[in-house]
Amino acid sequence: MGGDRGPSVIIPGLMKVVTRRSDVRFLIYGRVDEVRPILENYPKVAAVSELIHCEISVRMDDKPSQALRHGRWKSSMWKAIEAVKAGQADACVSAGNTGALMAMSRFCLRTMATIDRPAIAAIWPTMRGESVVLDVGATIGADAHQLIDFAILGAAMSRALFDIDRPTVGLLNVGVEEIKGQEEVKEAGQLLREAGLMSMSYHGFVEGDDLGKGTVDVVVTEGFSGNIALKTAEGTARQISSYLRAAMGRTLMARIGYVFAKGAFDRLREKMDVRKANGGVFLGLNGIVVKSHGGTDDEGFAAAVELAYDMIRNSLLDRIEADLDLFHARHPRKLVAGAAAEDDDKE
């Protein structure tokens, strides 16, 4: 029921997944009177789906606390997340209210034992291929301990998605020099350098332009700057596409030139298509939850579902748990001390 257009986008998106993934099944939560008429137009989706009626759906403008208080146990969003907790589903995918989805996911699934805060990880197209960037909006601010957790989570996702044995990890900063940046970023960099983790190769600090270059496989930051970077990149891609369309139709010679260069422009358009990278993975929870952009179309929602599919098939949660256990077993003293100091401050 989420997103700007609800089931009119979700169901056609599932159709695209069915044509590409023969072994997938769906539990669809929503108001039957709205969903069933659309589902009947896609018999292949209906054949592999179970439609569960829910009277309540979380609105896109609901506050997370309000959605959690009034939507628990009844809403389509809660029921979908609860299915993951109960083992009825392997993953939950929603195009709905991001804050409500995170609040409900955290309340229902809980964070992993050593994780203070979950993160939203995005797939970022680069000149070298793709990178994982996190956090892109789950939290505002992060201490050194949380940034290290994000690095471990992102490295595990990179290994699961891209089949990289030891992904390179960088901390997003205002400069690559070790003396620059906020204290928590510098502290996290020092701890990662000293840790010598086999699950990743710590590269050091990276800057904003390294995101597009693909300098590292995983870029770690806190949610405020990460979300701004994500929205800026999406807006830039749309801006360039708009410029190209306007330039190609401006004159007769430009239109003729476009005909000869159409293949190259098609490849460029595909590379810049933000729908291909749609889907933010909620990392650090005891379950897989993927947030699709609310304004996406059916192709974009299909990409989010297929991202969840890949996370399941490549045992993302098992990889994360193994990496976290190994790190905290080898480095308990520094991280426990940091957590204790944070508790003292709160008291």
Q: What is the pTM for the complete model shown?
A: 0.84
Supply the Cα-derived Rg of the chain in whole angstroms.
21
d(CA 7, CA 244): 32
d(CA 133, CA 312): 19
d(CA 201, CA 251): 51
Q: Which runs of E-coded beta strand occur in the chain?
A: 26-30, 49-53, 91-94, 119-125, 130-134, 168-172, 201-206, 218-220, 280-283, 288-291
d(CA 18, CA 209): 37
Residue among 33, 31, 37 nearest 53 (CA): 31
Q: Which runs of E-coded beta strand occur in 164-322?
A: 168-172, 201-206, 218-220, 280-283, 288-291
Please tell me the predicted confidence (pLDDT) of residue 198.
82
Q: Could you tell me if 223 and 137 are in contact, meaning their C-beta atoms sit under 8 angstroms apart? A: yes
The residues pairing with 289 across neighbouring beta strands, listed in sequence order, are 92, 282
For the chain, 347 residues long, give each residue's pLDDT as a single digit of tens. Answer: 988 899 999 999 999 999 999 899 999 999 999 999 999 999 999 999 999 999 889 988 888 888 888 766 789 999 999 999 999 999 999 999 999 999 999 999 999 988 888 999 998 888 888 899 998 988 888 889 899 999 999 999 999 888 888 999 999 998 888 878 788 999 999 988 888 788 899 999 999 889 888 999 999 999 898 888 888 877 777 777 777 778 777 787 777 776 767 676 566 566 555 666 688 999 999 999 999 988 889 999 999 999 999 999 999 999 898 888 887 777 664 444 344 344 434 43
Domains and CATH numbers, the chain: 7-110+295-311 (3.40.718.10), 119-225+261-277+316-346 (3.40.718.10)
Please tell me the predicted confidence (pLDDT) of residue 336.
40
Residue among 85, 153, 81 nearest 115 (CA): 153
Give pLDDT tens digits for 232-282.
877 777 777 777 778 777 787 777 776 767 676 566 566 555 666 688 999
DSSP code, position 130? E
Residue among 221, 208, 214, 65 nearest 138 (CA): 221
